Structure 1
Amino acid sequence: MSMSMSMSMSSSSSSSLSNPPTLTLRNGLKHPVIGFGTYKVGVIPASASSAVASGGPNAVERTAEECVSDALDVGYRFIECAQFYANESEVGKAIAKSGVERTDLFICSKVWTTTIEQGPQAIEEQLKKTLADLGTDYVDLYLIHWPVPGKHVEAYKTLEKLADQGKIKGIGVSNYAWEDYLELKENGVKNLPLVNQIEINPFLYRKNTIAKFADEGVVLQSYRSLRDGKAFDDPTILKIAESHGRSAAQILGRWCVQKGFVYIPKSVKKERMVENSKVFDFELTEAEMNELDSLTTPDAIETFVSLYRKCVNRDTSKDGTLDGVKMTITGD
């Protein structure tokens, strides 16, 4: 069963990229089902694998300001940001220059592991910096980027207090396993996450985990929806793309929104931004959806679990260790 069957999705006959369908979050907030991701846009963060391999953070093809300006011009109104992405000031410049009203934007940011480890005051200061960099008084969503062992529950409760001050419209999490979510519940969190941002695509479709979060009313934001282009030559994807006269990216994107997930494609090329967005004017058949659903292998689940263990302590004082890491999580 797709998440869209258990959540309110609304759209109008004139639906477009600047007026996309929305999912209604548990607190009534309308969340666009498509957004523009800014990871590795303009800069590669210092501890990203590609930066580590090349010896440090790199400027990439175009600045984040240029790319986000293009995305806003194309019509994207949900902008997905993070402290870790190291480009929020550039994103803010693009927003300021765009002339788009703040009320027409939906902005999400995330607080990084280093700040989470440092505690409530550091988190509050980081949110102030994020708001200043983005040029706004509030973010629509603010997420815990990784469930830092021994620290993420306190961090989440800090976000609850900041939300009471009006600086955050909604609180969510990212990269949370089901067991991390249960840890929040078991420790007295009152306002449970509205969203969980995790990798979701046909090659990492964790049906059991997704169903558990859907049953709790948690909307799933999908990152790596397009698998960084690494699946564009997959025979199944190409076959379905050909049958619809569409690109591989559009098939992956359509699968995502048809499942009821929030789709967050990213590109530094304006023509690709347009291409990635064209997912609302066709539909995949049930047989095609089932075929795509079956592309996740046991190896993919094992790789995910290994990555989770590696990343929850990333950039903290415990980086490189498994100190506090949950060794048994729901993988599928």
Structure 2
Amino acid sequence: MLKDLTSTTKLANGVEMPWVGLGVFKVEDGPEVKQAVIDAINSGYRSIDTASVYGNEKGVGEALKEVDVKREDLFITSKLWNADQGYESTLTAFEATLDRLGLDYLDLYLIHWPVPEANLYQDTWRAFEKLYQEKKIRAIGVSNFKEEHLETLIQGSEITPMVNQVEFHPHLTQEPLRHFCLDHNIQIEAWSPLKQGQLFDNDVLQVIADRHNKSIAQVLVRWDIQSGVVTIPKSTKAHRIKENADVFDFELTYDEMKQINQLNKDERVGPDPSTFNKR
């Protein structure tokens, strides 16, 4: 059994990525995001996931300066927004992200969406490969890419994405995509693992939670890990941040995992990557 928040999975290039991190989507820049990151790291988190479009990279960077943890012990992820796709614009946007975070390098950088209408993600990926080869990023990947986007990207690339961060929860288990990523040694990472709280009144999950004396949120995070999926639950409340990570002292049974898997509805809370073209 995995021991704590320092437990990691090994990416295709050998980089160790924590199984559980803090997501800061829609967390306000300034004191709110700064305190959330500080609370998370003080609770044992070592992975923080932000994005340029979240508008809070500066606050995340300020928090990182205040915590008493070495930079090399942290795993910091950010994402390139759709409007910045393209070779040269990606390089410029990456430097701006580093500057806002106050860092010399990123542990993971992701293309936020494929934006199929623009058809720029292959040019964008060439810039990612350049930054990776220059050791400015320890690992590179994508977010919200379906199988067809990954196939196109892999065919024209030197480096296969190491991570694909996608919407993943019991109502959207993404089985075909997960099998594709497993076959290509791409680590799946879950955003919205708690389905924005929409699963907290589910009877099946409540019975499982009660059986283990845990919350539904804790059951969902544990289900992610046991499914081989890295997860980044979001909260701004210190006690919730701590609670979401208290998942290393129990294990879901085979039958419980099966019950949760059977809740799938192929239902999204976010956009469909095939049609989402906002820039």
- Measured against the shorter chain, the TM-score band is over 0.9
Structure 1, 214-223 or 123-132: larger mean CA deviation: 123-132
TM-superposed CA distance for 1:102, in Å, is: 0.3
Paired AA for residue 246 in structure 1: K
2:91 to 124, 138, 161: 124
Determine the structure 2 residue equivalent to 1:329: none
1:307 to 254, 268, 272: 272
2:63 to 94, 100, 114: 94
Determine the structure 1 residue equivalent to 2:249: 281
- Is there any run of 5+ residues in structure 2 with no aligned partner, and where? none
Matched, 1:112 2:81: yes
Aligned residues: 277
Determine the structure 2 residue equivalent to 1:213: 181
Quote the Cα distance in structure 2 between the aligned partners of 1:73 and 1:22.
18
Matched, 1:42 2:35: no
Q: What TM-score do the two structures reach when normalised by structure 1?
A: 0.80
Paired AA for residue 255 in structure 1: W
Matched, 1:254 2:222: yes
Paired AA for residue 17 in structure 2: H
Counting aligned pairs with the same residue, the percent is: 38
Q: Deviations over 1:203-224 (max 9, x none)?
A: 1101111111111110001111
Q: Secondary structure at the match of 1:107?
A: strand
Determine the structure 2 residue equivalent to 1:320: none
Quote the Cα distance in structure 2 between the aligned partners of 1:210 and 1:153.
22
2:151 to 144, 169, 182: 182
Quote the Cα distance in structure 2 between the aligned partners of 1:240 and 1:98.
36
TM-superposed CA distance for 1:186, in Å, is: 2.4
Quote the Cα distance in structure 1 between the aligned partners of 2:111 and 2:80.
5
Quote the Cα distance in structure 1 between the aligned partners of 2:20 and 2:265.
27
Quote the Cα distance in structure 2 between the aligned partners of 1:213 and 1:128.
29
Which one has more relative contact order, counting CA pairs under 8 Å at least 6 apart? 2
TM-superposed CA distance for 1:95, in Å, is: 0.4
Determine the structure 2 residue equivalent to 1:235: 203
Given the superposition, is the C-alpha separation of residues 306 and 229 from structure 1 closer, same or farther in structure 2, using an over 3 Å criterion? closer
Given the superposition, is the C-alpha separation of residues 199 and 125 from structure 1 closer, same or farther in structure 2, using an over 3 Å criterion? same
Paired AA for residue 94 in structure 2: L
Determine the structure 2 residue equivalent to 1:24: 10
Quote the Cα distance in structure 2 between the aligned partners of 1:161 and 1:219.
21
1:133 to 100, 113, 117: 100
Quote the Cα distance in structure 1 between the aligned partners of 2:272 and 2:161.
22
Quote the Cα distance in structure 1 between the aligned partners of 2:23 and 2:250.
23
RMSD between aligned alpha carbons?
A: 1.6
Q: Which runs of 4+ in 1 moved over 6 A?
A: none
2:37 to 44, 68, 82: 68
Paired AA for residue 55 in structure 2: A
Q: Secondary structure at the match of 2:272?
A: helix
TM-superposed CA distance for 1:133, in Å, is: 1.4
Q: Secondary structure at the match of 1:282?
A: coil
Determine the structure 2 residue equivalent to 1:153: 122
Q: Secondary structure at the match of 1:63?
A: helix
Given the superposition, is the C-alpha separation of residues 306 and 123 from structure 1 closer, same or farther in structure 2, using an over 3 Å criterion? closer
TM-superposed CA distance for 1:305, in Å, is: 9.6
Determine the structure 1 residue equivalent to 2:46: 77
Quote the Cα distance in structure 1 between the aligned partners of 2:48 and 2:244.
15
2:162/2:185 contact within 8 Å kept: yes
2:195/2:269 contact within 8 Å kept: no
Quote the Cα distance in structure 2 between the aligned partners of 1:106 and 1:186.
29
Q: Deviations over 1:112-144 (max 9, x none)?
A: 00001xx22221111111111112110011111
Paired AA for residue 177 in structure 1: K
Quote the Cα distance in structure 1 between the aligned partners of 2:38 and 2:265.
38
- Is there any run of 5+ residues in structure 1 with no aligned partner, and where? 1-9, 44-58, 316-332
2:168/2:192 contact within 8 Å kept: yes
Quote the Cα distance in structure 2 between the aligned partners of 1:296 and 1:177.
18
2:8/2:17 contact within 8 Å kept: yes
2:48/2:75 contact within 8 Å kept: yes
Given the superposition, is the C-alpha separation of residues 247 and 286 from structure 1 closer, same or farther in structure 2, using an over 3 Å criterion? same
